[in-house]
Structure 1
Amino acid sequence: MESWTQLFNHGKPFLAMILMQSSYAVMSIIAKYALNQGMSPHVLVAYRLAVAAVIITPFAIVLERKTRPKMTFNIFIKIMLISLLEPVLDHNFFYTGMKYTTATFTTAMCNILPALTFALACIVKLERVEIGKVRSQAKVAGTAVAVGGAMIMTLIKGPILELPWTKGRNHYLGQHGASGAHKQDMVMGALLLLAGCCCWACFVISQARILKSYPAKLSLTALICIMGTFEGTILAFAVEWRNPSVWLIGFDSKLIASLYGVRNSFDFRVHIR
């Protein structure tokens, strides 16, 4: 019989995934609340990336000072381009889509990411599909289930569930003409989230190639965060140039959502690993 230590060691990967998914849930709830309070999704992305860059860069400088490969112009351009895909475009699509929908809907739509990544990997020949083998059949079936689930979330509207703390508010909204605008927002949000997942999938495929020429994973994460901060800030200024007040935050949910960018650092680290 295995000891508790052995069981814990065997279960660490599963615990890590549970904790990461829990952090996604907390992130979505905090971000959605901040967006509901009027925070710009583009400003939120810029602040979160700045926090992530500040936190992870010192670790990259110290821990990989002896193993970091030489930076070349070609690698620099590649890192700049993938940082534009993820986190800049992906996160901007993600939070703008969340603003139109809900935290639950946004999290559910992100389940389409493995399907998109698998499809792109097949296109660029990083993944082989041999339909006669069980492993390939399972991948194809999983892809179909992921896409089907996302389509169900987008197109099918079920009955309104009344909870004790809603007290008929959902019924009121349903009777006063909000359903048409709500449907339009949900479709727009779904399309934005789909675009974000496409950017994310392209990033996952691209980083696999960049790691072959620049294997310093922590430094790569820091560089992506730093470049993403500059690119995200430029994008936010371009979109919100008429409304400079959106950059002001206090000791409220907007600040918490921005500081939660520390999770981004470890999120990038997990993806690159």
Structure 2
Amino acid sequence: MGDQIRLSKQLNLFFDKAKPYLAMVSLQFGYAGMYIICMVAFRRGMSHWVLVVYRHAVATIVVSPFAFFVERKIRPKLTFRTFLKIVALGLLEPVLDQNLYYVGMKTTSATFASAFVNILPAITFIMAIIFSLEKVNLKKIPSLAKVIGTAITVGGAMLMTLYKGPIVNILWYTHGGNQRTSSGSSDQQHWVTGIITLISCVFGWSGFFIVQSMTLKEYPAELSLTALVCLMGMIESGIVALIFERNMDAWAIGFDSRFLAAAYSGVVCSGIAYYVQSVVNKVRGPVFVTAFSPLSMVITAVLGAIVLAEQIHLGSLIGALIIVIGLYSVIWGKSKDLSASNAEFEKGKAHQLEEFGKNTSDLGRDIESNGISKIPQKKFSSEQP
């Protein structure tokens, strides 16, 4: 019986430690699915301006009831300062990141855009250091592991997208004659504009995780924060869409791939993703959250080969292996930082208990040497007040 209880405690401890990793890996599967569904919708003429609006409208409708009932007793008061941060969150990710990515992809190329945005972990790591959300001491091995792991992850993502190599048939069947070719080169006059757009996209996405981490310290209600960010994202992206999308027919969608793209991306990649990212961000920080983002490329490559009949190249396999190595390095460094933080907390707690015991012993010696009368006494009255 004792062994079973001990085993149960060990399993519970293991799952508690594994939850952030499982959550972030699961999200990458969700993003990979969104990529495939949205690509089908875009091929059928859906406007990305409209998609962003509908995506966050769906997310707001789905998340708001849960946020209202689940967190009604723990939801803190929404101050004006917190509200401004929520407005900034709605602008950074729903409006800037999602729209600018598609604009940058159209003005450069799909390959270049997908390679460029994988510098997200590195940009987030640098911004976290600037805003004192991440501590780095290059004399310590965990910090070196985070720096080197981030560089390796970005390098693997760049290799995976920029180098193809020969086709590798790793599946049990072989696709024939259905290989996608990227419309690689854009007009030279749009290339600089595309690069600037993609830079803004990455900084917007990184800034979202930084501001999210700061906001959670003032407003630690993850579901309510998610609902508010989706609501602001819907309003702000709606204003932007009305400015840039003048064709009113683009807003009409039926029960087709366009509706599926809005529903799936809204529920999975906005509602669930924002909530899960906020929970993990609160515990592990923005660097841990973004370290997993290049993993979606690996999943997308496999799903693309199965669902969209895309062929897998040697560069994709090598890049995937490098990404896994880099992720392991970052995660190992973050786990060591967490262990060191817990050790310092326990050490400080033990020191406080030691000081308390020392003060208690000194008080006992004073009582023994000077007598109880020398100790200040509170006067009690037998009369009731």
TM-score scaled to structure 1, two decimals?
0.82
Q: Are residues 184 and 169 of structure 1, via their aligned partners in 2, closer, same or farther at CA, if it must alter by over 3 Å?
A: farther
> After the TM superposition, which residues 227-266 of structure 1 pair with which residues of structure 2 at under 5 Å, given as runs?
227-241=232-246, 243-260=247-264, 261-263=266-268, 264-266=270-272
Residue 223 of structure 2 is aligned with which of 206, 213, 218? Answer: 218
Q: Is contact 1:101–1:186 with CA below 8 Å preserved after alignment?
A: no
1:62 and 1:271 map into 2 onto residues whose CA distance is 21
Alignment check: 8 A CA contact 2:125 2:134 kept: yes
Q: Could you tell me how far apart the structure 1 residues matched to 2:131 and 2:205 are?
A: 16
Alpha-carbon distance between aligned partners in 1 of 2:205 and 2:83, rounded to the nearest angstrom: 19
Structure 1 Cα separation of the partners of residues 58 and 111 of structure 2: 22
Which residue, 254, 259, 273 being the options, matches 1:267?
A: 273
Shift of 1:194: 4.5
CA distance in 1, matches of 2:132, 2:274: 24
Aligned to 2:127: 120
Conservation of the 8 A alpha-carbon contact between 2:103 and 2:197: yes
Query: 2-side partners of 1:185 and 1:166: how far apart?
Result: 34
Q: Deviations over 1:30-75 (max 9, x none)?
A: 0111112111111111100000001001111111112111222222
- Give the superposition deviation at 1:253: 0.9
User: What's the counterpart of residue 74 of structure 1?
Assistant: 81
Letter in 2 for 1:262: V
Aligned identity (percent) is 43
SS in 2 for 1:128: coil
1:238 CA drift (Å): 0.7
Q: Which secondary structure does the structure 2 equivalent of 1:65 belong to? A: coil
Q: Once superposed, what is the RMSD of the aligned Cα atoms? A: 3.4
Matches of 2:116 and 2:157, distance apart in 1: 5
1:38 alignment partner in structure 2: 45
Cα-to-partner distance string for 1:70-90 (whole Å, 9 max, x where unaligned): 222222122111210022211
- Residue 17 of structure 1 deviates from its aligned partner by 3.4
Is contact 1:116-1:201 (8 Å) kept? Answer: yes
1:149 counterpart (146, 149, 156)? 156
Checking the alignment, whether the CA contact within 8 Å between 1:49 and 1:228 is kept in structure 2 is yes
**Does the aligned pair in 2 maintain the 1:32–1:102 contact within 8 Å?**
no
* CA shift in 2, pair 1:157/1:218, >3 Å: same
In the alignment, is the contact (CA less than 8 A) between 1:101 and 1:185 conserved in 2?
Answer: no
Q: Conserved in 2, the CA contact under 8 Å of 1:93 and 1:192?
A: yes
- SS of match in other structure, 1:251: coil
Cα displacement (A) at 1:266: 0.8
Distance of 2:186 and 2:121 partners within structure 1: 31
Select between 232-241 and 194-203 the one with higher mean Cα deviation: 194-203
The size of the alignment, in residue pairs, is 265
Partner of 1:138: 145
State the distance in 2 between where 1:160 and 1:78 align. Answer: 48
Tell me the secondary structure at the aligned position of residue 130 of structure 1: coil
Measured in 2, the distance between the counterparts of 1:38 and 1:130 equals: 50
Partner deviation per Cα, 1:102-131 (whole Å, 9 max, x = no partner):
59973x655432221111011122222111
Q: Greater Rg, structure 1 or structure 2?
A: 2
Task: Give, in whole Å, the separation in 2 of the partners of 1:69 and 1:41.
Answer: 35
CA distance, structure 2, for counterparts of residue 193 and residue 239 of structure 1: 18
- TM superposition shift of 1:93: 2.2
User: Structure 2 vs 1, CA of residues 103 and 54 (structure 1 numbering), >3 Å: closer, same or farther?
Assistant: farther
Q: State the Cα deviation string for residues 213-237 of structure 1 (Å, max 9, x = none).
A: 2222211111100011000111111
TM-score between the two structures when normalised by the length of structure 2: 0.60
Are 1:209 and 2:219 matched, yes or no?
Answer: no
Which segments of 5 or more consecutive residues in structure 2 lack a partner in the other structure? 280-385
Q: Secondary structure at the match of 1:205?
A: helix
